[in-house]
Amino acid sequence: MQITCSDDPQLANVMLAVPVGRLNAEGAHRFWEVVGPCMSEQSPSLIVDMTGVDWMSSAGVGILMRTLSRLRPLGGKLAIFGCSPSVEKVFEICRIAEMLNVSASPDEARRRLAG
């Protein structure tokens, strides 16, 4: 998995993570290596652009939940957009789409964080 994490170009104090590949056990480990250090009191919220994620396992769900757990004490939020139908199905089965602020578009994800 390749992943980048940088300041969101549209929202202050929000980071944008862009994973590409499979969010399986190996991908989840890589996700945490890159995204974990990006989370801070100065940037307590995170948007995840999932357009490049073609498959996600339970390890992917776990790392997203871990990320949310890390952001909440900082006063932050998590929002996700760009999910493939198979990834959306995983969120639906786990019943966590609302908790993770799964959004239909980048604009909707940003509105959820700003609101």
Containing structural domain, residue 42: 2-114
Q: What CATH number has the domain bearing residue 87? A: 3.30.750.24
The phi and psi torsions of 61 (rounded to 5 degrees) equal -60, -45
pLDDT tens-digit profile of 43-69? 899 999 999 999 999 999 999 999 999
The answer, yes or no, to whether residue 92 has pLDDT greater than 80, is yes
Q: What is the pLDDT of residues 3-42, one digit of tens each?
A: 999 999 999 999 999 999 999 999 999 999 999 999 998 8
Collect all residues with Cβ–Cβ distance below 8 Å to 95 and sequence separation of at least 6.
none
Q: Is the pTM of this model over 0.85?
A: yes
- When divided into structural domains, the chain yields a total of 1
